[in-house]
Structure 1
Amino acid sequence: MKINLTQNKNFKLFKIISKVAQENNQTVYIVGGYVRDLLMQRKAPTDIDFVTDQSGIELAKAVGKELGDLKVSVFKTYGTAMIKYQDLDLEFVGARKESYSEDSRKPAVETGTLEDDQKRRDFTVNALAISLNEENFGELIDPFNGREDMQNKILRTPLEPAQTYSDDPLRMMRAIRFASVLHFEIEKNSLEAIKQEAERIKIVSMERIMVEFNKIMLSEKPSVGLKLMEETTLLEKIIPELTALKGIEEVEGQTHKDNFWHTLEVVDNISKNTDSLWLRWAALLHDIGKAPTKKFVEKIGWTFHGHEFLGSKMVKNLFTRLKLPLGPDMKYVQKMVKLSSRPIALIDDGTSDSALRRLLFDAGEDLEDLFTLCKADITTKNASKQEKFKKNFEYVAKKIKEVEEKDQVRNFQPPISGEEIMELFNLKPGREIGILKEKVKEAILEGIIANDKDEARNFVIKEAKLLGLEV
């Protein structure tokens, strides 16, 4: 079968590469994800992989020269070379075959043929190649029926699946990621092989695992991938804090919901309303404190007292172990987890303005994200209950807006600074300054004084006297 490349936006580039290969007595093929996405009519990726039966490095150097003496980055260890051309990353590699040791996913590589190279690919849909050789330009080379699998939306490995996953266990995560992102089904034997080889995931670096995991999290419906990870036991090996939420217990006829499956619903719900990776992570982790805080109390039932606070503390250890960023992104997730139940507690006519001011102060610029999370947390299938919860949130949002317009405490900045307090009492930096600033903040949040410079100054003078300070 021939693929018509004449309408492809990179057609001219492909013809140049074909000509250079011909002049240098080399073969050349487009392989991998670019071919897959081209056939699936998906948006073309910006990285294109080329395989030659000879030297990928030599071919890259010749192509770089032809394209205008472009810089060629050479990676001798792997026999690969890369060229940045316009908005594309072009990678050239010599066809190779691989063999693996038990304790590493890094293969021993030796020279091979195009067929060898296609065999080492993870899935049949990624083992497709398009010839750029003059004699059969555009011919699709598909030794494992990858095009048929693509049409049937099946993920299958070119070779025996257990060996494929054992050799490179990251392929297990890639299988689940493709299932989640491309809406493919993992072929039955392949899925069983992932269960069988799941323990091997431990030899893969956490950074590489998280690249795949985050792509699952950013997919249209993350629960597809998360359910497959749970089914294959990969999830409990990577994030046991989540699988610890599984199960329903009953005491004295009282049960609680299965917080694991609830969490997956929350992640799907929030994914309809945000593309933010870290807000989706907040949804994934919002209940992780429930497993360690679960307790049955007579006459009350099941409680999870303080689970938000404990959950927010668990986030740092979890992010550290998963090699996720420990800066602002982690702190944002911590904040979302910690505040995840606060708006619900304010659904009451008797809620004080001070409670609303405190939520505004604590949430700051992330208040809208917090409400998005809280709405996603509504997983009841009862339509009237859903409508009631929705109206309750609208009511709280309206009350908060009124308080915000009146008191201006979102992204709160004290109306009197530490420098002004030091000048007022002729003080040097010390604990008294911090005490007075904290008292001003509390007085504003409690509604004792307005968020006003003159009121704050008078309040500080009064409080300072109690500390033995005079103007």
Structure 2
Amino acid sequence: MAKQTYISALENPIFRTISKAASNLNLETYVIGGYVRDFILNRGEAKDIDIVAVGSGIDLAEEVARLLPGKPKVSVFKTYGTAMLKSGGIELEFVGARKESYTEESRNPAVENGTLEDDQNRRDFTINALALSLGKENYGELLDPFNGIKDLQKKIIRTPLNPDITYSDDPLRMLRAIRFATQLDFIIEKESLNSITKNAERIKIISKERVVDEINKILLSDVPSKGFTLLHKTGLLSYILPELMALQGIDEKEGQTHKDNFWHTLEVVDNISKTTDDLWLRWAALLHDIGKAPTKKFDKKIGWTFHAHEFVGAKMVYKLFKRLKMPLNDKMKFVQKMVLMSSRPIALASDVTDSAVRRLIFDAGEYVEDLMTLCEADITTKNPKKFRKYHANFQLVREKIVEVEERDHVRNFQPPVSGEEIMETFNLKPSREIGIIKDAIKEAILEGEIPNEYEAARAFMLKKGADLGLKTS
């Protein structure tokens, strides 16, 4: 069988430089992994490239840097035998070919020098074991010991060796399998999928940061539900996001049921993914109903209820982020706010009053558009008439938001009269009365009793002060 070559994959001048450096050092060198896979799949320009040398990857990186204009800095990681450098907007990682052996307690292997074959054996999937030679004699030749090309063509995720060994050695690969299946719209081969299910509990030895990194990539894919369905099917989701698993199922009492909030959530995530690439808004969609499991109750008169699920869910967001070692900063607060307010526009849609819209804008602040995007994604009814009606109602809310905001300027609200002015006017020291007056002015503006303007607010302040028995200075 004729050997396949992919010279066109190596058109970037950097590859000729690496080839020359490899020749200078008499090192067998290959481009391997994601770059080769994505070139064959025509997935666009790669920004990072893995280079494997049969010998010292660090020596090769330093020789490449010496040959490149400007001699870029080489970052060396001696513990792992790797080195990195950046050139022309591309990040290159160099590693010596190696073979690995694992212990049960850790995904960090014992490493020793090896051949290209050893290195390909340790790769996670056949489609990531593809290598292109950078040798002078066989430049661009494909080395594909596991028929990765065939798996690319058939859209299959498969491990090079026994999947039980692959996944047990490094359980992060289970998440990577699901992530690649989601991103590439591939199928995980049956034996491999069964092995993930069998080894699911091993995910507990993986750091939370690495787990979240893979979950983020699944969330940022075109159809995230594919990944979350696989996480659910294999049992991994129970270890990572039990709050989501708790939403699954339909209860029935006295002939009354509620929708399955787990599958509904996945629909919402897919819906929002069609309109935004914002990772944190997608997280908000994923978590918007997590408060429904702990608040679910049955009432004989009204059926199933989830009272205050938004409030409970917002508190759960903090605990979930903390457990998964996710950022407890403004990103978490944004997700909390979206979960807390997720039902507000829905309630508003049936009665779009100015005062209710003002309050929505005031409470959501700069995130009011994000909130509307989330609420529109939350429409998962299969009834076409209802679907059109709900979207039409939300369009009315959006138009009203624009109209009210242009007139009343309550987004990122700053009171027209400051606390200092109230103190000076009534000759007050810091006291409860100042807060009462400020709150009264804010409420009057939000209720539409007075416009959001200085003169009207000052007149209202004087009246409110008089009502409290305060005298002007």
Fold match (TM-score > 0.5): yes
Aligned residue in 2 for 1:171: 173
Look up the equivalent residue of 2:72 and give its one-letter code: L
Q: 1:381 corresponds to which residue?
A: 382
Go from structure 1 to structure 2 and tell me whether the alpha carbon gap of 1:403 and 1:21 turns closer, same or farther (over 3 Å shift). Answer: closer
Which residue of the partner structure matches residue 337 of structure 2? 335
TM-score, normalization by structure 2: 0.96
Letter of the 1:354 counterpart? S
1:346 Cα deviation from its structure 2 partner: 1.8
SS at match of 1:136: coil
**CA deviation string 1:206-235 (max 9, x = no partner):** 111111111100100000001000001111
Q: Within the alignment, does 1:53 sit opposite 2:54 as a pair?
A: yes
Identity of paired residues, percent? Answer: 65
Q: Which amino acid aligns with 1:13?
A: I
2:79 aligns to what SS in structure 1? Answer: helix
| 2:412 partner letter | N
Match of 2:236 among 234, 254, 257: 234
Once residues 116 and 429 of structure 1 are traced to their aligned partners in structure 2, the CA distance between those partners, rounded to angstroms, is 74
What does 1:6-155 align with in structure 2 at a 5 Å threshold? 6=8, 8-10=10-12, 12-68=13-69, 69-155=71-157
CA contact (8 A) 1:361 1:410 kept: yes
**Contact 1:378–1:389 (CA under 8 A) maintained in structure 2:** yes
CA distance in 1, matches of 2:431, 2:395: 44
SS at match of 2:28: coil
Q: Contact 2:297/2:304 (CA < 8 Å) preserved in 1?
A: yes
Q: Return closer, same or farther for 1:15/1:348 CA change in 2, 3 Å cut-off.
A: closer
After the TM superposition, which residues 438-453 of structure 1 pair with which residues of structure 2 at under 5 Å, given as runs?
438-453=439-454
**Aligned match of 2:270:** 268
**1:429 Cα shift?**
4.1
Q: Which moved more, 1:60-69 or 1:25-34?
A: 60-69
- Displacement of 1:133 in angstroms is 0.8
1:343-358 to structure 2, matched below 5 A, reads 343-349=345-351, 352-358=353-359
Q: How many Å separate the matches in 1 of 2:281 and 2:145?
A: 43
Paired amino acid for 2:280? W
2:326 alignment counterpart: 324
Alignment partners' CA distance in 2, 1:103 and 1:468 = 72
Q: For 1:167-246, what aligned pairs fall within 5 Å after superposition?
A: 167-246=169-248
Q: Tell whether the 8 Å contact from 1:293 to 1:306 is kept in structure 2 after alignment.
A: yes
Contact 1:122–1:164 (8 Å) recurs in 2: yes
Which amino acid in the other structure matches residue 42 of structure 1? R
* Equivalent-residue separation in structure 2 for 1:62 and 1:267 (angstroms): 47
Show the 5 A alignment for 1:322-471. Answer: 322-349=324-351, 352-471=353-472
**Which runs of 5 or more residues in structure 1 are unaligned?**
none
Name the CA distance, whole Å, in 2 between partners of 1:370 and 1:364.
10
Letter in 1 for 2:348: L
- Runs of 5+ in structure 2 lacking a partner? none
Question: Structure 1 residues 429 and 5 mapped into 2: Cα distance closer, same or farther (>3 Å)?
Answer: farther
Q: Specify the SS of the correspondent of 1:447.
A: coil
- CA drift at 1:75: 0.9
Q: Residues of 1 paired with 2:37 and 2:401: CA distance?
A: 50
2:290 — aligned with what? 288
Aligned residues of 1:57 and 1:81 also touching (Cα < 8 A): yes
User: What residue number does 1:247 align with?
Assistant: 249
> What is the alpha-carbon distance in structure 1 between the residues aligned to residue 107 and residue 29 of structure 2?
27
Deviation larger for 395-404 or 140-149 = 395-404
Secondary structure of 2:298's counterpart equals strand
The secondary structure found in structure 2 opposite 1:34 is: helix
Residue type of the partner of 2:83? A
Following the alignment from structure 2 to structure 1, what is the Cα–Cα distance between the partners of residues 350 and 387?
Answer: 17
RMSD: 1.6
Assess, with a 3 A threshold, how the Cα gap between structure 1 residues 6 and 163 changes in structure 2: closer, same or farther.
closer
Distance, in Å, in 2 between the alignment partners of 1:327 and 1:38 is 38
Q: Is the 8 A contact 2:35 2:49 kept in 1?
A: yes
**Post-superposition shift, 1:252?**
0.4
Bigger drift between 362-371 and 197-206 goes to 362-371
Kept in 1, the 8 Å contact 2:6–2:142? The answer is no
CA contact (8 A) 1:461 1:470 kept: no
Contact 2:9 2:36 in 1 (8 A): no
Q: Which amino acid aligns with 2:236?
A: L
- DSSP-derived class of the 1:346 partner: helix
Contact persistence 2:19–2:134 (CA under 8 A): yes
Aligned length: 469
Q: Give the Cα–Cα distance (whole angstroms) in 2 for the partners of residues 319 and 7 of structure 1.
A: 41
Structure 1 residue 449 displacement after superposition: 2.2
Q: AA paired with 1:193?
A: S
Q: Give 1:295 deviation, angstroms.
A: 0.4
Distance 1:359 1:99 in 2: 57
Contact 1:82/1:92, CA 8 A, preserved across alignment: yes
What is the rounded CA distance, in whole Å, between the counterparts of 1:346 and 1:54 in structure 2? Answer: 66
Residue 450 and residue 60 in structure 1: after superposition, are their counterparts in 2 closer, same or farther (change >3 A)? same
Give, in whole Å, the separation in 1 of the partners of 2:350 and 2:203: 48
Q: Following TM superposition, by how much is the alpha carbon of 1:448 offset from its aligned partner in structure 2, in angstroms?
A: 2.7
